[in-house]
Chains A and B, each alone.
Chain A
Amino acid sequence: MTQVTLSGLTKIFDEKSPPAVDQLDLEIESGKLTALLGPSGCGKTTTMKMIAGLLRPTSGDISFDGDSILSIPPEDRGAVMVFQNYLLFPYMTIAENIGFGLKMRKVDRKEIRTRVTDMLDLVQLPGFEDRKPRQLSGGQQQRIALARALIVQPNVLLLDEPLSNLDAHLRDEMRELIRRIQTEMGITTVFVTHDQEEAVVLADRIALLFDGRLQQFDVPDAFFESPQSVEIAKFFGGTNFIPGRYEGGEITTAIGRFRAPRSAVAGGDAVLSIRPEAVTLGADGGNSVMGRIRSHVYVGRYARFRVTLGDIEVEAVTDPGQVKLFNDGDEVPVTFDSNKIWVIGPAAAHE
């Protein structure tokens, strides 16, 4: 169990371009599963390589349980990284691959053999000892790569896009395997992903990075319920943003005034955000305005409507049955549930 602390961590590859990782402060909890999430090129893999010791930070510090580990070479850090493309050593058998870390630690041959067998059981590939990596499917290679990292009982397990090279059905299986092993062994685990759904399903906490900067570090549901900026809300699938002025628990916009007790700002210029699932059509309660249905799509599990409210267009995701109730062009009351409205600071402040 190791707590990983990043403080002011910065990596500059090229003086002329902006830093790949910029003044990153992060407290990665011991024994938890933390996701580094962000679009490609946001510095997540760079951060991970710095933790593993495979890349030297330009400035800042990394510590494990309070002790700086910057001067410790990668082989002695006990932070094992599993690369996105598995990188099983092609000249070695599966048993030699998994046993590699133990061999480097001078563990005796017999013990390596027993522990390799245990590991193969753990990743549900028993009897694979003598195969060669190229005889394995992508999903199997991934599990071997995981076993190879876990066998050394690392302080920190670093997974780079662990699910991105897998088919959809394998992805669910792998996700469960990672979760199960991580909980069982209680290893502090950091994984990198560009897929917000993957991060939400798998992680205890998510660190969202844009352009090498930390945007928000929070539990998964917070990114849906209380994103700290419009960009964050957009990254997590938010689509409805209406500018206005926030005062005394109410936000006044071009299309009307709404009660909104939940907010990230105290008052002033702000943006009303509401997730499309929280927009209801037809029922005239409080917090309603009249809108006109512009178009709709029937998706099966749900239906998606685009509704115009004056100059503003909002998206509503509803029960699929609603396509039978409304036609394009109909006037309908549109309701924003006041508890689902989240008021964010103005978008411009985050540019």
Chain B
Amino acid sequence: MVDTKIEPTAAGAGGVAAEDKERRFSWRITGRWVGITGLLAFLVAPIVPLFVWSISFRWFYPAILPTEYSARAWTEVITPHNDVLGVAWNTALIALVVTALSILLGVPAGRALGLYEFRGKRLVEWMILAPIIVPGLAVVLGIHVLFIRAGLSNSIPGVILVHLVPTLPYMTLVMSGVFANYDTDFELQARSLGASRWATQRLITLPAIFPGVVVGALFAFIISWSQYVLTLLIGGGQVQTLPLLLFGFVRSDPAIAGALSVVFILPAVIVLLLSSRYLSGDNAAVGGIGNI
């Protein structure tokens, strides 16, 4: 008697639990779709009107779409005399060097901040955050004077150096978050098993911090790629990058500006999509940003 009474209840409870699980599961899928749709809406949708601009010839109020189309703007972008591709290459080169330098400097700095307690650590953290907090224009005016004296103004190395001012803090902070969750005993274990210092870095440390490096590098690349004020002031018009070129066309020729914008945005979107799997919420690197 007792058995028959208990059994259906237990089965019932199991059924409810299973149903509950299923519902939660479907919520997760819905959430993912909302996320993807949102991402597309905010990232891709703004590019659509830009693209429409770039192929329009006549587009006046109140027409929803251009009344006449033309490939003029794209021809202008591609023709050699405007050297858009050259400038794009320049911009990419600067951004890549800036990213590489940010990794080289930011990873060790982040390791020190994330793993060790030392005197003046708070001060160092504030110094690293300062370039993000203080308006860039104020900083760069001071730097400009210094760079002129050092012969770094109006040159690509100067521009690369000044781009590090906003990129390094991001790289360092992301990496300090990664290292705060990192167990250095893994490195000791590898050494003990016979791995040299270098092999340990390559086989143990790097795979563990790789997602963080990707996220930090992404920040660095995009910040450098879209930098306007710093490039303008330190480059002094001698160093041309896409943002500078784009800004010049915004007033004079919206069609070309539209075409340039597409060229400008595409690499950022591609980089973002390539690294999207490292940007998921349960990633330690993203968690690190949350810790700031």
Binding site for B on A (CB under 8 A): 49, 52-54, 73-76, 79-81, 83, 85, 87, 89-91, 100-101, 104-105, 148-149, 152
Contact = CB atoms under 8 A, between A and B. Distances in A.
B207 A100 contact: no
A152 B186 contact: no
Given A87-B183, A89-B204, A91-B207, A104 B194 contact: yes
Contact of B189 (A79, A83, A105, A152): A83
B3 interface: no
Given A83-B185, A87-B183, A91-B207, A148 B193 contact: yes
Contacts of B191: 53-54, 73-75
Q: How large is the interface on B (under 10, 10 to 19, 20 to 34, 35 or more residues)?
A: 10 to 19
Q: 10 closest Cβ contacts across the A-B interface?
A: A104-B194, A101-B193, A74-B191, A87-B189, A91-B207, A81-B192, A54-B188, A75-B194, A101-B194, A104-B195
26 contacts: A49-B188, A52-B188, A52-B192, A53-B191, A54-B192, A74-B188, A74-B191, A75-B192, A75-B193, A75-B194, A75-B195, A79-B192, A80-B192, A81-B192, A87-B186, A87-B189, A89-B190, A89-B203, A90-B208, A91-B208, A100-B190, A100-B193, A100-B195, A105-B194, A148-B193, A152-B193
B250 interface: no
A152 B203 CA distance: 18
B193 A149 contact: yes
A81 B192 CA distance: 6
Nearest to B196: A75
Dominant SS at the B interface?
A: helix
A74 B192 contact: yes
Contacts of B199: 104
Nearest to A148: B193
B251 to A, nearest CB: 52
Given A54-B188, A101-B193, 13 more contacts: A49-B188, A54-B191, A73-B196, A74-B188, A75-B196, A80-B193, A83-B185, A91-B208, A100-B190, A104-B193, A104-B194, A104-B199, A149-B193
Contacts of B185: 83, 85, 87
A191 B191 CA distance: 19
Contacts of B196: 73, 75, 104
A22 B189 CA distance: 25
